Amino acid sequence: MAYVYDDQNIFAKILRGEIPNDTVMETEHTLAFRDIQPQAPVHVLVIPKGPYVCYDHFALEASDAEIADYTRTIGEICKAEGVQDGGYRIISNAGEAGVQEVPHLHIHILGGRNLGRMLAPAR
């Protein structure tokens, strides 16, 4: 499958500095900022700076340095946001079935409250 990246998506605009964001952490390859509509006391979005549409795109085509930086930064944010002890959830929605709204890879780090079960049972 050929991945097609739309550089007009809202996170691309955040990366270019065209839209403000509440930055939590920034590294060479990764930016983390607070979700504009938080669904938990901690709700941080973590994105790679490179043009990747979704998780599988990133996992298959990003460099080792980008992947290491992204993964390590997610761990650092869990520590810095204080969700290690109480627990947290990481979600990455992809494509139509995953109901992905913004077509630039992002993982949600959610914590600070009991998040309930992951999904409703399939019908």
| Residues assigned a catalytic role | 106
Report if residue 56 touches ligand 5GP, rule: CB under 6 A. Answer: no
Report if residue 9 touches ligand 5GP, rule: CB under 6 A. Answer: no
Task: Give all strands (DSSP E) within 8-119, no chain letters.
Answer: 23-26, 30-34, 42-48, 88-91, 107-111
Report if residue 102 touches ligand 5GP, rule: CB under 6 A. Answer: yes
Quick one: which segment of 51-59, 63-71, 74-82, 96-104 binds ligand 5GP (CB under 6 A)?
A: 96-104
Question: Which value, to the nearest 10 degrees, does the dihedral of the CA atoms of residues 34, 35, 36, 42 take?
Answer: -70
Report if residue 73 touches ligand 5GP, rule: CB under 6 A. Answer: no
Residues 12, 15, 21, 48: which binds ligand 5GP (CB under 6 A)? 21
Which alpha helices (DSSP H) does the chain contain, by range?
10-15, 55-61, 64-80
Q: Which residue has the tokens 């959830």?
A: 89
Report in angstroms how near the CB of residue 28 gets to ligand 5GP at its nearest: 21
CB environment 58-95: b (16+ within 10 A), e (fewer): beeebeeebeebbeebbebbbeebebeeeebeeeebee
Residues 101, 117, 122, 123: which binds ligand 5GP (CB under 6 A)? 101
43/63 with CB nearer ligand 5GP: 43
Contacting residues toward ligand 5GP, per CB under 6 A: 10, 19, 21, 33, 35-37, 45, 93, 100-102
